[in-house]
Structure 1
Amino acid sequence: MKNKIHPKNYRLVVFKDINNDKIIICKSTIKTKEYIKINDKDYPLYKMEISSYSHPFFTGEKRFLGKTGPAEKFKKKYEKYNKIKKNYNI
């Protein structure tokens, strides 16, 4: 491995899944602005939209997470062009 490429500022950080309020505590260098108190100790808090606790692959559930994905945004953006094509039989 190369020397002097890894960060030195690892610390315990709380990663919180905002869909179900589950938490994971592990070492990280991620920058955070919020803190959370667990067992009378303050930890930096990072809020995640999805984790293994809520991802359908890991839970086996099919559910809508509330946000539109890239495919839906693309279809919505270009659906007006499809209407024009149909009118001109292109």
Structure 2
Amino acid sequence: MKKGLHPESYRFVVFKDMSNGHQFLSRSTSPTKETVKWEDGNEYPLIKLEISNMSHPFFTGQNVLVDTAGRIDKFKKRYEKKK
């Protein structure tokens, strides 16, 4: 493997799926200012996710539509007026 290709600053972070609250601990170089206390009693940086394997329809087998930005409501309101 080539040297200097990958970052050296990996650290443990907690990823939190905001749609269902599932959290998992992994390593990342992503910057964040928030922290959270983990199950082991240590405090780790927190990275918030809109969707993860615990809420994505492909992995869950359910057709659940996650609309965090309200785009579906805006679409329905816009085209309801034309009916």
Is the pair's TM-score, using the shorter chain for normalization, greater than 0.5?
A: yes
Aligned to 2:19: 19
How far apart in 2 are the matches of 1:9 and 1:63? 36
Identity of aligned residues (%): 44
Between structure 1 and structure 2, the one with the greater Rg is: 1
Shift of 1:37: 0.6
CA RMSD of aligned residues (A): 2.2
Look up the equivalent residue of 2:57 and give its one-letter code.
P
Report Cα offsets for 1:69-90 as digits up to 9, x if no partner.
8xxx8xx8xx9xxxxxxxxxxx
Structure-2 separation of matches of 1:26 and 1:63: 26
Q: Which residue of 2 aligns with 1:28?
A: 28
Query: TM-score, with normalisation over the residues of structure 1?
Result: 0.71
- Distance (Å, rounded) in 2 between the aligned partners of 1:40 and 1:25: 13
Tell me by how many angstroms 1:59 deviates: 0.4
State the Cα distance separating 1:17 from its structure 2 match. 0.1
C-alpha displacement of 1:64 = 1.8
The 1-side partners of 2:45 and 2:25 are apart by 10
In 2, the alpha carbon distance for the partners of 1:36 and 1:46 equals: 10
Q: Matches of 1:13 and 1:22 in 2, distance apart?
A: 14
Match of 2:4 in 1: 4
- Structure with the larger helix share: 1
Separation of aligned partners in 2, 1:52 and 1:13: 17
Query: 1:14-47 CA distances to partner (integer Å, 9 max, x unpaired)?
Result: 0000011001111110101100011321000000
Gaps of 5+ in 1: 80-90
Q: What is aligned with 2:41?
A: 40
Q: How many positions carry a matched residue from both structures?
A: 74
